[in-house]
């Protein structure tokens, strides 16, 4: 019997950045409504939500930054960045987002859950040590990775980031660290500007950052191909003890911010591919956290398909999906990544 956890709390909807902001509470509203549909209701185990502790936040962010965000609590409006503001409930939502993810990781590690999806906001992967940006306050996935290492005594963590945008904050958090492998596919050149092929990490962390920048137009087959021909061999060589996923749904074909062509079936296939890697490396231990995604209907349906995959209700045929890729484009990408990564990974040298 598989148990899939979800992190869900109405307080995540108290963070509001204005009427016209795409990162809005309704993003979670439609997902939480979908969880009540007869097909989904009662299928998932709710993870008890708690705020992240100061200690957990300070592993990734500076004290002055954490205090700066804390000082926005109860304030009607604070400007942080051209795209990022807070309201009275934002700080609470942000610490609950990071804390909820940590709790989900703890329950997966203890075996109470097989896997989990943190359906939280604000998102996190753009948040830097000292700076809020790109709709993000605290870097949830980075905080979760350090929590797994420091509180749960795990060693190697793989972070897969399929959001449309490059997770600059996550990359910077671990670029000197060989114990956390960051793998990102993202539209490029695009916001936030980082994530070129040759950004591979620094010092001891060289090779433990793998960037696959993409022009627009990539769909289910190409993403599947990238996962099976680049991510999978590297993951099996790295042997993570836990896989975390920055799951952004702005690569959905109808997303207003993105130029990618992924369908709900494609998202299910990506989740399946990651679960297969987790099965081979770490007893299936994988925890997803919500990042972007701005087409409400598309995100609702895509999250649903991913959850069904995590719960084992459906099993997407990744091979069949990969067969739909544009072969030439995929071959070029694989060769381009190999050229950069072959000095770090045996599997990339052949
Ligand atoms: Zn994004």
What whole-number distance in Å separates Cα of residue 283 and Cα of residue 269?
A: 19
What whole-number distance in Å separates Cα of residue 69 and Cα of residue 314?
A: 41
Find the mean pLDDT for residues 25-48: 97
Q: Which residues are catalytic?
A: 126
Phi, psi at residue 160, to the nearest 5°? -105, 130
pLDDT score recorded for residue 350: 80
pLDDT score recorded for residue 1: 58
Confidence class for position 236, pLDDT limits 50, 70, 90: very high
Q: By the 8 A CB rule, do 201 and 179 touch? A: no
Domain boundaries, the chain: 4-348
Cα(85) to centroid of ligand 1, in Å? 17
The whole model's pTM is what? 0.99
Cα(346) to centroid of ligand 1, in Å? 31
Average confidence score pLDDT of the chain:
98
Q: Which two tokens stand for residue 330?
A: 């995929």
What whole-number distance in Å separates Cα of residue 243 and Cα of residue 273?
A: 12
Q: What is the pLDDT of residues 156-178, one digit of tens each?
A: 999 999 999 999 999 999 999 99
pLDDT score recorded for residue 346: 98
Phi, psi at residue 280, to the nearest 5°? -75, -30
Q: By the 8 A CB rule, do 346 and 235 touch? A: no
Cα(112) to centroid of ligand 1, in Å? 30
Cα(164) to centroid of ligand 1, in Å? 5
Confidence class for position 268, pLDDT limits 50, 70, 90: very high
Find the mean pLDDT for residues 272-283: 98
Q: Which two tokens stand for residue 154?
A: 């795990």
Q: What is the pLDDT of residues 63-87, one digit of tens each?
A: 999 999 999 999 999 999 999 999 9
Find the mean pLDDT for residues 129-133: 98
Give percent of the chain above pLDDT 70.
Answer: 100
CA angle 142, 144, 147 (to 5 degrees): 110
Cα(287) to centroid of ligand 1, in Å? 18
What whole-number distance in Å separates Cα of residue 210 and Cα of residue 340?
A: 9
Phi, psi at residue 108, to the nearest 5°? -70, -45
Cα(163) to centroid of ligand 1, in Å? 5
Find the mean pLDDT for residues 258-268: 98
Please determine, for residue 2, whether its predicted confidence score (pLDDT) is greater than 80.
no
Strands 84-86 and 78-81: antiparallel
CATH number of 4-348: 3.40.800.20
pLDDT score recorded for residue 285: 98
């Amino acid at each position: 019997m598989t148990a899939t956890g979800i992190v869900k709390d109405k307080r995540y909807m108290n963070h509001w950045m204005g009427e016209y902001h795409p990162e809005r509470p309704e993003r979670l509203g439609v997902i939480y409504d979908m969880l009540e549909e007869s097909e989904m209701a009662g299928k998932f185990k709710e993870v008890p939500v708690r705020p992240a502790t100061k200690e957990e936040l300070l592993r990734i962010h500076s004290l002055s930054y954490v205090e700066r965000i804390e000082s926005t609590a109860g304030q009607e409006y604070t400007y942080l960045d051209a795209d990022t503001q807070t309201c009275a409930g934002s700080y609470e939502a942000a610490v609950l987002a990071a804390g909820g993810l940590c709790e989900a990781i703890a329950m997966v590690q203890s075996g109470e859950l097989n896997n989990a999806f943190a359906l939280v906001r604000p998102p996190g992967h753009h948040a830097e040590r000292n700076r809020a940006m790109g709709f993000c306050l605290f870097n949830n996935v980075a905080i979760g990775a350090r929590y797994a290492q420091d509180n749960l005594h795990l060693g190697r963590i793989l972070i897969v980031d399929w959001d449309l945008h490059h997770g600059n904050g996550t990359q910077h958090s671990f670029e000197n660290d060989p114990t956390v492998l960051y793998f990102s596919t993202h539209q490029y050149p695009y916001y936030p500007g980082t994530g070129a092929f040759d950004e591979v990490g620094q010092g001891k962390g060289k090779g433990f950052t793998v960037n696959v920048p993409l022009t627009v137009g990539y769909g289910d087959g190409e993403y599947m191909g990238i996962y099976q021909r680049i991510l999978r061999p590297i993951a099996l060589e790295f042997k993570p003890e836990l896989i975390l996923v920055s799951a952004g749904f702005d690569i959905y074909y109808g997303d207003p911010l993105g130029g990618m062509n992924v369908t709900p079936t494609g998202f299910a296939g990506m989740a399946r591919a990651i679960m297969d890697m987790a099965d081979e490396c770490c007893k299936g231990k994988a925890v997803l956290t919500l990042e972007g995604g701005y087409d409400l209907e598309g995100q609702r349906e895509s999250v649903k398909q991913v959850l069904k995959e995590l719960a084992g209700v459906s099993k997407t045929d990744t091979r069949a999906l990969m067969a739909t890729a544009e072969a030439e484009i995929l071959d070029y990408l694989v060769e381009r990544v190999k050229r950069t990564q072959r000095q770090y990974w045996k599997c990339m040298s052949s």
